[in-house]
Amino acid sequence: MGGSNYDSVFYEEIGKVEDNHFWFRHRKEVIVNLILRYAGAPKGFRMLDVGSGTCSIAACIARSFSLSRVYCTDLNIQGLKDGRKKFGVRAAMLDMRSGALKCKFDVIGMFDVLEHIEDDEGMIRTAAKNLTDNGTLMVTVPFGPQLWSNFDIVSGHQRRYLKEELRSKLGSAGFDVCYLSHLFSFLAPLMFLSRGRKEQGRDDIAAEVRRQLNPPPAVNFLFRCMLKPEGMIMRMGGVIPYGSSLIAVAKKRLST
């Protein structure tokens, strides 16, 4: 959830809750399973987590694939500092678009990053340039302009995506999409029902986000249970037809 326009006050709060929060845990579990299916290799791989925020996803991937080397970059130094301290990850403040990368990667992850970037298609093309031949790009993005919420505002989002829009942008940038699915199926209707709330000031929005980051334990446990069938379907290669997020796995075309 990294980005230069992300409110850095939330990095510390996210770092405190993401190990147990249903949303963060489910996203990490799905990402690891998809890497195993589409990008995992016995000899390991070199991966760059772009916009890594608190580095929690990169740390989880590094633990799950011990022969691999996972690197974190972000435009906000606070999350990287927290990640190095908490997880001991390899992390550096860097903009991939600057051309400063000195090697290519087998896997690049951009998890809830593209929605922060005005030129998202340019960012995807930059990822293609920094991948090895037939390298893998993994992205997660928020789904549905109709689900736009206060969380999008405080997170500095530029947009929410439609499924075919994401597929088209990946294809135009030189990728073949091999997996594309929704995530968080039960959250979409809840979010849609809440869209009628009145406009709020930034302090009210921030307070609302903090409530979302700290659900009551019983609610957090219930939502974890509700997501288990979704996780099982995705582990078997199935796709989720509707949800509040999208996740895509795409392979770089050899001609890119």
**DSSP structure string for the chain:** ---TTS-THHHHHHHHHTTT-HHHHHHHHHHHHHHHHHT--TT--EEEEET-TTSHHHHHHHHHSTTSEEEEEES-HHHHHHHHHHH--EEEE--GGGT---S-EEEEEEES-GGG-TTHHHHHHHHHHTEEEEEEEEEEEEB-GGG--HHHHHHT-S--B-HHHHHHHHHHTTEEEEEEEEE-TTHHHHHHHGGGSPP--HHHHHHHHHHHHS--HHHHHHHHHHHHHHHHHHHTT---S--SEEEEEEEEPTT-
**Domain ranges, residue 28:** 9-251
> Quick check: is 2 in a domain?
no
Residue 3 domain flag: no
pLDDT tens per residue, range 112-134: 999 999 999 999 999 999 999 98
Let me know if residue 187 belongs to a domain: yes
* Domain annotation covers residue 207: yes
Provide the CATH number for the domain around residue 245.
3.40.50.150
Task: Output the tens digit of pLDDT for each of the chain's 256 residues.
Answer: 444 445 555 677 888 898 999 999 999 999 999 999 998 766 789 999 999 988 999 999 999 999 999 999 998 888 888 888 888 888 889 888 887 687 899 999 999 999 999 999 999 999 999 999 989 999 999 999 999 887 788 788 999 999 999 999 999 999 999 999 999 999 988 887 776 555 566 677 778 878 888 999 999 999 999 999 999 999 999 999 999 999 999 999 986 4
